[in-house]
Structure 1
Amino acid sequence: MTLLSSVPGRLSVAALLVTLTAPVLAQSTPQAGGVANVAIQPEPPGLMLPLVQNAPTQRVAGNIFEGLLRYDADLEPMPQLAESWKISDDGLTYTFTLHDDVTWHDGEPFSAEDVVFSVDFMRETNPRTRAVLAHVDSVTAPDDSTVVFTLETPFPAFIQAFEVGTLPMVPKHLYEGTDYYNNPANRHPIGTGPFEFAKWDRGSVIELDKNPDYYEAGKPYLDKIYWHVIPDAASRAAAYENGTLDIMPAGSVENFDLPRLSEMEGSCLTEAGNEYFNPFAMLWLNNREGPTADKRFRQAVMYALDRDFAKNVLWNGLGNVPNGPFTASLPAHDDSLTPYPYDPDRAEALLDEMGYDGEPVRLLPLPYGETWTRWSEAVRQNLEDVGINIETESSDVAGWNQKISDWDYDIAFTYLFQYGDPSLGIARTYDSDNIAKGSPWNNVEGYENPKVDQLFADAAVENDVDKRQAMYAEVQQILHEDVPLAWIMELAQPTVYRCNVHDLITTSIGLNDGFKNAWIEH
């Protein structure tokens, strides 16, 4: 069954309500063959997914690599490399039975030993996955088809940690005993997925070819996927209009182009495929030094921001304004929090109270296109309107990554995935153990609060739903007061595509593992 549909209540622009619902119901038999031409923006820095975790890499390489499980729109697990699994009654033992006859793209057999090696690999290379695996006492392979994870304490969110972006499988025979970051295999990634890496013309196109030995009979249906690198958003929109591109992932075009493209004959739009990620836009606020180190300044920033303007004008009504640090769709979300209203007078009063003297504050935009540029201009105007002296420091993607990783900013745009549980995607942003240079995705702001650390740690291993919820409600109240960073938008990320492309989004991570089931009606 396809999950391709529009999310009720999320699209306020009538033109964006065009979806594939009717065509999907009318078609039932997949057709083999065909080529998908997809936009990718920005160009990935690499395709070795176990080493590179940014969104463009996950989107492309999630179809080369695989995890043990996939997840539906309700975040319920589905088979992938594991055909079945069992969880012990005490929540401490997870036993996975692997598919038989799975091979890596170079022909070597995939086995349980690869899973054990992948866990050790990801512990070393990925901070987010490392935080999840901190709950694991041991990983063993009793035989080639069985993997057993034994946890130190119950960790209810653990079953959600096996998608391809969180725990991708790594070929042990290529990486064991090597320098992971300089391994020649990084230039030609080898996975078990439905598509194989073929070639990459930098700045132009990435080609993935059908895996002829894929273990799921008859799949994939497509012969090739071409990921087109077109730096200019207007040019990407034109390429879709003239038929060069078939699929426009979220962020491929500016929001103001979505109504026009979605109204084209044979064009469809969906917001499905982000349920696992819960993308959440924020402003990093440097808690270490300068005006942003003062809680009153950070609160003033929240009062100064006209977030409804950003939603309604810059994002065409897509998304939601958050009331605090947790996305509203998460079960752990505290509905009782009162959102920071747009209140410039209150912002000015807080700045006066702290004695802000006009010290310049550097603003670092996110270089992801015109919408983000306009958003940074709107934020700058909001902050200057209440007397904050802003200096904008623009950069390219690499420069943004470097500045954030080195903590070289005062206020900086970002968006992070909150995933399906706070212990997977939110705690990393506030946990003081995650304060370390070198990553733009951990506790970049430098927030330290032992009470918050303890609440996140305790909630992660609490099996009682009510107790767990109470802990998360308390942590949200503390963060709401401390404002370690500014919460600006629960992002909607619609995909525009040709209506003759079927079953494109069949999981909660959308295009990131979607091409296994996708087929084109000829």
Structure 2
Amino acid sequence: MIDLTPRPERHGDGAPKLDSVNDLIQARIDGVISRRRLIRRAAELAIAAPVVGVMLHATSDKAFGAPSQGRPQALRRLAQEAGTVPADGPTAPEGEPQAGGTLTIGSNAEPDTLHPYVSQTVTAADVYVGIVENMVAYDSTQQLVPRLATAFEISDDGLIYTFDLREDVKFHNGDSFSGDDVIAVWKIIMDPDFGAFNTNGWDKVDDITLDGNQLVITTSEIYAPFMSYVGVERIAPKSAIEAGIDPFKQEYGRAPIGTGPFQFVEWKAKEQIVVEKFADYWGEAANLDQIIYRIVPDDNTQLVQLRTGEVQMVGSAGALSAIRVDEALGIEGITILEHATKDWYHVDLKHWDHLRMTKVRQALDFATPSQDIIDRLLKGRALVSVADQAPGSWAFNPDIAPRPYDVEQAKALLAEAGLTAGTEGVLEGPVPTDDPNVADGDVKPLEIELWFVAGDTQSEQVCQIVAQSWNSVGVKTSVLSQDISTIWGPEGYQFTEKMTGCFYSWSNGNDPTCKFYWHSEDIPDSPTGSGGNLPAYFHHYNFQEAIDELTIAADATTVQEDRGAVLFQIQELLHEEVPVIFIYWGKAFPAVADNVGGFWPSAFNYLLWNANEWYLT
């Protein structure tokens, strides 16, 4: 079995054993062979290229942040010298660590649910990762570390994964953890009546069997990012799942049960979520007695409470926005951290009426002052984005230039799309019927609702800038907001028969993939269905066939160079067709009191990922 804890000494003074898939993975994790040596030895052993790809994922060599020619330059471009501190390790304040205590986190966003299989928000994940654990997890250096599984191995054909599961692990409700819980999770995620938000990886599973504490997962095909999806899935207790779909979906989402170092205590809507130390945790016991996740109405209140000491930390989904950094730097006793993210900030465009037309979407891109937003609003703390793979990833295509801000070009494209000035200068024209690029339907005004999550000042200001520019070219644009639970719920803007956009960020997983966002299989079949391709809910993209083929090819290709070439093509297609307006890649700015130790935020995990290591001095 493969031990995820690096131990170079296990190989002694001689050369490491390199005779199988698992030998090579172990040696690479232990750092006694290079990535190149792994690939070369795999070729000598005639291991198939797709299996080599699976191996490189298991060693974390092919996740986001793996070596890339453009990574150092990109991170240097994002680096700031304005008093922020790089989050390159856990905070280590002066003074003696104290036993116990309560830490309060402030966030201007409330989770929609705390259900790991239902929620689509980072806000929810920030909380439930401290409660519900996975078999393996990523740390802040992008390495897989053991959790409910102590070791694993992969068959030589890349189709079978065997996990050694921990024994004597208790759920917060007293149930004992076993492989039966993993099997129950697989079944509920794949149950269409349940409607899990994401089925990636689980849809490749043919069978799961148990032999004592060994869990054997057999897949139908080689799926390179298997460990990045199934391996890191949160495991709920079988008893909660078997309570029934509705109770599990609703009740568990309000009071999750896991095996983590903290257990759920209460959730007071619009006020706070409280977790407390789990006395029977299998691993390193939490230092803190309690963590309060306080929900504040807006980021101004968040800053005030940092200043008064009412909150001691903000981070991840609740981190400071770029426009608040300078103000926060003046707060005594607070350190502002900084790290790169995988987040692409964008305006999605529901494919409805005029927004089904490529020229209209391209025109809106020309009419979006992305660089001005970065320079004037964000004070340079971001990079203009062009697609969905961020700088620093080996999958990033550096050869795509962003469209310049050009209102005249925008007007010309809108005219080519058949739009002319109507009442009060608002453009109007026939909308498409069958062919999305042929305007042969009823004449309608080009009116767009531009949404953002309420309470986020930075998002509101971005939307106001965008709306002002779009209005200037004849696109009637109104800025609207809703709370996070409503805007991403079944009554949200995505499911109205209107032309809409919404400004928010989305993030790739630790293994870059595009299928979940763009493929037709991931268009939900109802407002509560599974899938992330919401802009195409009413109408498929006009380039749907091409993006379907490319996203399938990217997930099926395990040779990094070949997969990168496909991902480059996807980015080129997205840039050409503009299903969303890509605006910028951002950075995160967590803030923490100077007496908080062990806090280590990064692009690779969520807020409470190592909360058991936090302490107060």
With the length of structure 2 as denominator, give the TM-score of the two structures.
0.76
Q: CA–CA distance in 1 between the matches of 2:142 and 2:594?
A: 26
2:610 to 510, 514, 517: 514
- In structure 1, what is the equivalent of residue 131 of structure 2? 64
Residue by residue over 1:294-327, the C-alpha shift from the partner in whole angstroms, topping out at 9 and shown as x without a partner, is: 1001011111111112122222322221132322
- In structure 1, what is the equivalent of residue 41 of structure 2? none
Q: Secondary structure, in 3 states, of the residue corresponding to 2:115? A: coil
- In structure 2, what is the equivalent of residue 360 of structure 1? 446
1:39 to 102, 106, 112: 106
Whether the 8 Å CA contact 2:467–2:477 is kept in 1: the answer is yes
Q: CA–CA distance in 2 between the matches of 1:472 and 1:13?
A: 29
Larger of the two Rg values belongs to structure = 2
2:487 to 380, 400, 403: 400
Q: CA–CA distance in 1 between the matches of 2:312 and 2:230?
A: 30
**Superposition pairs of residues 52-201 of structure 1, within 5 angstroms:** 52-124=119-191, 125=194, 127=196, 129-143=198-212, 145-162=213-230, 167-176=233-242, 178-181=244-247, 184-201=251-268
With the length of structure 1 as denominator, give the TM-score of the two structures.
0.89
1:112 CA displacement: 0.8
Q: CA–CA distance in 2 between the matches of 1:506 and 1:97?
A: 29
- What letter corresponds to residue 328 of structure 1 in structure 2? P
Whether the 8 Å CA contact 1:506–1:517 is kept in 2: the answer is no
Change (3 A) 1:407 1:328: farther
How many residues were matched structurally? 508
Q: Secondary structure, in 3 states, of the residue corresponding to 1:337? A: coil
Q: Secondary structure, in 3 states, of the residue corresponding to 1:216? A: coil
113-122 or 87-96, which moves further after superposition? 87-96
- In structure 2, what is the equivalent of residue 312 of structure 1? 375
1:418 to 495, 508, 524: 508
1:476 CA displacement: 2.0
Q: CA–CA distance in 2 between the matches of 1:161 and 1:29?
A: 39
Whether the 8 Å CA contact 1:365–1:372 is kept in 2: the answer is no
Q: CA–CA distance in 1 between the matches of 2:387 and 2:315?
A: 27
Whether the 8 Å CA contact 1:15–1:263 is kept in 2: the answer is no
Change (3 A) 1:212 1:8: same
Whether the 8 Å CA contact 1:123–1:129 is kept in 2: the answer is no
Change (3 A) 1:31 1:510: farther
Q: Secondary structure, in 3 states, of the residue corresponding to 1:345? A: helix
- In structure 1, what is the equivalent of residue 394 of structure 2? 331
Amino-acid identity (%):
24
RMSD: 2.8
**Superposition pairs of residues 499-510 of structure 1, within 5 angstroms:** 499-505=594-600, 508-510=604-606
The answer to whether structure 1 residue 374 and structure 2 residue 472 are counterparts is no
Whether the 8 Å CA contact 1:41–1:252 is kept in 2: the answer is no
- In structure 2, what is the equivalent of residue 443 of structure 1? 533
The answer to whether structure 1 residue 234 and structure 2 residue 322 are counterparts is no
1:211 CA displacement: 0.5
The answer to whether structure 1 residue 484 and structure 2 residue 579 are counterparts is yes
Q: Secondary structure, in 3 states, of the residue corresponding to 1:90? A: coil
Change (3 A) 1:126 1:488: farther
- What letter corresponds to residue 319 of structure 1 in structure 2? A
Whether the 8 Å CA contact 1:283–1:414 is kept in 2: the answer is yes
Q: Can you give the 5+ residue segments of structure 1 that lack an aligned partner in the other structure? A: none
- In structure 2, what is the equivalent of residue 496 of structure 1? 591
1:57 CA displacement: 1.3
Q: CA–CA distance in 1 between the matches of 2:219 and 2:96?
A: 43
Q: CA–CA distance in 1 between the matches of 2:302 and 2:353?
A: 40
1:177 CA displacement: 5.1
1:28 CA displacement: 11
The answer to whether structure 1 residue 474 and structure 2 residue 541 are counterparts is no
Q: Can you give the 5+ residue segments of structure 2 that lack an aligned partner in the other structure? A: 6-64, 66-73, 421-426, 428-444
**Superposition pairs of residues 8-19 of structure 1, within 5 angstroms:** 8-9=75-76, 13-19=80-86
